[in-house]
Amino acid sequence: MSSKKIFGIVLAGGEGKRLMPLTADRAKPAVPFAGGYRLIDFALSNLINSGLRQIVVLTQYKSHSLDRHVSQTWRLSGLLNAYVASVPAQQRLGKRWFSGSADAILQSLNLLRDEKPDIVIVVGADHVYRMDFSQMVEAHIASGFGVTVAAIRQPISLADQFGVIEVDVDNPSKIAAFHEKPQKPIGLADSPDEVLASMGNYIFNADVLMDAVQRDGERSDSNHDMGGDIVPDFVSLGLAGVYDLNRNVVPGSTERDRFYWRDVGTIESFFDAHQDLIAALPIFNLYNTEWPIFSQQLNSPPAKFVRDALGNQGTTIDSIVSLGCVISGSHIERSMIGPWVVVESGASVVDSVIFEKVRIAPNSTIRRAILDKEVVISEGASVGVDHDADRARGFTVTETGITVVGKGVIVT
C-alpha cells in the first residue's frame, strides 16, 4: 500500500428492494451468503487484505443485524488506531435520511475531517469479488486524476445492464464518457466484443471528494448518487480515470476465478452467485487461503451426515454444507446449506440456497428455492415444485422460477 494515508468508506445504506423478501428484516449488505458469510464481508475482506486499517461502514435501512455483525466480526486493534466502524445516518445537515450515496458521504464528512486522509477508497457492499486495492491506489496516484473508477470487462451483449465506461482514444486510462445501461454500446479497441463496466468502486483524492460532494449537495437537479452524479461530473471535466480489473493480480487466484465479479442485487443474481461456488472447479473460489474472505467464526460443531432410522445413507452431491448441520438419509444436490440446518429422512433439496437454522422434515421436496432463516418445512411439503401453489401461499416466485420463502415461515 502507498505511504499516503488511505481511508475506506463502505456504502451499506441501500434498501435492497430487489432482494425482497430477504431484505424484509435486514439491510442488503447483511444478507447471508455462502453459508457463513454476509455480503459485506467481501468488500471488507478486500479492503483489509489490501492493507487498509481505517474503514467506516455507512448504514441506514434496517441496520441492526448489520451493525451487530460488523461489531462482533470486524474488531481491529484500537492501539494502532485501526478500526472498522459502523456509522449510521447522523442527521448532521438536518433531520433527514441519506438521499443517495453521495449525500451519505456529504453527511459524514466529519469522518474525513477527523482522520485527514490523503486518499479515500469508496466501495459498495453488495458485490462478490476479490480485488487488491493497493494496486489500484498506485495506478490512481500515477494517473494524476481526481477519481479513478474500477471497471471489469463484460460481454457487449450485457452492456444494457451496467454503467459502461468509454475510454479516451489517446489515453486508455482516461474516461471519455460514461453511459448508463447503453442500448448501442461501443466495444473496446483491443476487444470489440467487450465493454468496461463500472464495478461501483472508486478511489478519490480526499480533498477532491470533499469538494465534489459539497458541490453536489447544493444542486437541486442531482440524485446525489456517486455513480450517477459525482463520477459523470468528473468525466465532463476530464478528471476521471479508469482502472481495468485485468491489471489486478490477487494472490492465490486462478485464471478461472481471477476476474470474477457479480452484483448480487437481485434474487436471480444472488441465486446464480451461489451456483458459481459449488462446482468442483468453482467459478469463484472460497478456498483461496492467500486472499481469505473473513467472517464471524461460529462456535459450532462440524456438519454431520448420518443414516436414518431405516439405515438409508442419503446422498450429497456438488453442494456446500455449513457447520452445525445434520443431514440424515436425505438427498442434497447442487445446493448451499447454511449453518445449523437439519434435513431429515427422505427429504430432497436440489438447486437451492438454504439459510441458517432451517428445518426440513422427512419426505419433503425443495426445488430451485431460497429458504430464509428459521423456515420450517413440514413433513411431505414441497417448495418450488408447483409455482402456482407457491404464489398462493404468498411466496415470491421470480420470472426465472426461483421460489423465495421469507424468514421464519412454516410451510405445510
Q: What is the pLDDT of residues 318-331, one digit of tens each?
A: 999 999 999 999 99
Q: Which domains does the chain have, with CATH numbers?
A: 6-275 (3.90.550.10), 304-411 (2.160.10.10)
> Which amino acid is located at 211 in the chain?
D
> Is position 174 annotated in a ligand binding site?
no
Give pLDDT tens digits for 142-200.
999 999 999 999 999 988 888 899 998 889 899 999 988 888 888 888 889 999 999 99
> Is position 198 annotated in a ligand binding site?
yes
Residues 57 and 47: their CA atoms lie apart, in Å, by 12
> Is position 181 annotated in a ligand binding site?
yes
> Is position 348 annotated in a ligand binding site?
no
pLDDT of residue 162: 86
- Whose cell is 420470472? That residue is 399
Q: How confident is the model at residue 94 (pLDDT cuts 50, 70, 90)?
A: low
Q: How confident is the model at residue 90 (pLDDT cuts 50, 70, 90)?
A: confident
The answer on pLDDT for 2 being more than 70 is no
Give pLDDT tens digits for 361-397.
999 999 999 999 999 999 999 999 999 999 999 999 9
Q: Write down the pTM of the prediction.
A: 0.92
Q: Give me the percent of the chain exceeding a pLDDT of 90.
A: 69
The answer on pLDDT for 79 being more than 70 is no
The answer on pLDDT for 135 being more than 70 is yes
**Residue 22 near residue 404 (C-beta atoms within 8 A):** yes
